[in-house]
């Protein structure tokens, strides 16, 4: 690598991602994504108990309109890379997914992936698609091959995979879809307690 190339790469690394989020781009990122509304940052802050960093859009909403899935910039405002593109923020949903995680079904799902060729391929495809979607905002070299939730070979965090499923719609992330089925999660009703 020449000095010039190195310089370019380094300056790239320090650059905050600034892409205009048109509706067209958002729909390519995730079919259920929507732009930030005026009160979204405040709502997510309340949901998570901290100010969300690098929040750029909402991946999916509760039927009432409250944010259910966050979309975070792959490069945070302080310059650090952030691989987890989709994540849950709706408290009622987080609790449901945590209930599943307590049952330790991630281990079983990982075994299933290892044993079932079709599922393995689908999980790998979900991983590739995750990175492609994130790259629409600009490639971040430090996390070039890193997705989330344990993909492409494991299931480690259902909160990530369920968030991905809700944002991208059914048929993209089979493990997230499966978890939603196990929870009987109905996206057409509001689950909020307040």
Return residues touching Zn ion (CB under 5 A): 62, 64, 66, 190, 192
Least CB distance from residue 69 to Zn ion, whole Å?
A: 13
Mapped onto helix, strand or coil, the DSSP state of residue 124 is helix
Q: Is 41 exposed, middle or buried (0-12, 13-18, 19+ CB in 10 A)?
A: middle
> Do the beta carbons of residue 95 and residue 36 sit within 8 Å?
no
C-beta of 67 vs 83, nearer to Zn ion: 67
Least distance to Zn ion, CB of residue 60, Å? 12
Kindly tell me which of 66 and 123 has the beta carbon lying closer to Zn ion.
66
Minimal distance, residue 85 CB to Zn ion, in Å: 23
Per-residue buried b or exposed e for 169-193, using 16+ beta carbons within 10 Å of the residue's own CB: eeebbbbbbbbbeeeebeeeeebee
Give whichever of 74 and 91 is closer to Zn ion, judged by the CB atom: 91
Residue with smaller CB distance to Zn ion, 62 or 143 = 62
Q: Residue 53: how many CB atoms within 10 A of its CB? A: 12
- Find the shortest distance in angstroms from Cβ 90 to Zn ion: 7
Give the Cα separation of 13 and 27 in Å (integer). Answer: 26
CB closer to Zn ion out of 146 and 190: 190
CA angle 41, 43, 47 (to 5 degrees): 115
Give the nearest distance from C-beta 136 to Zn ion in angstroms.
Answer: 28
């Amino acid at each position: 690598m020449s000095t010039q190339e190195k310089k370019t790469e380094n300056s790239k690394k320090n650059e905050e991602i600034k892409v205009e989020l048109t509706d067209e781009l958002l729909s390519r990122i995730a079919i259920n994504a929507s732009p930030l509304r005026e009160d979204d940052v405040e709502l997510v802050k309340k949901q998570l108990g901290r100010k969300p960093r690098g929040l750029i859009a909402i991946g999916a909403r509760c039927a009432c309109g409250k944010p259910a899935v966050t979309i975070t910039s792959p490069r945070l405002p302080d310059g650090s890379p952030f691989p987890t593109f989709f994540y849950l923020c709706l408290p009622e949903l987080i609790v449901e997914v945590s209930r599943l995680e307590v049952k330790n079904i991630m281990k079983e799902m990982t075994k299933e992936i290892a044993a079932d060729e079709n599922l393995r391929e689908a999980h790998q495809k979900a991983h590739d698609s995750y990175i492609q979607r994130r790259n629409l905002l600009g490639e971040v070299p430090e996390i070039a091959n890193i997705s989330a939730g344990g993909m492409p070979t494991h299931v480690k965090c259902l909160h990530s995979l369920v968030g991905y499923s809700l944002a991208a719609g059914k048929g993209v992330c089979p493990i997230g879809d499966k978890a939603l089925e196990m929870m009987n999660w109905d996206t057409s009703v509001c689950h909020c307690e307040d």
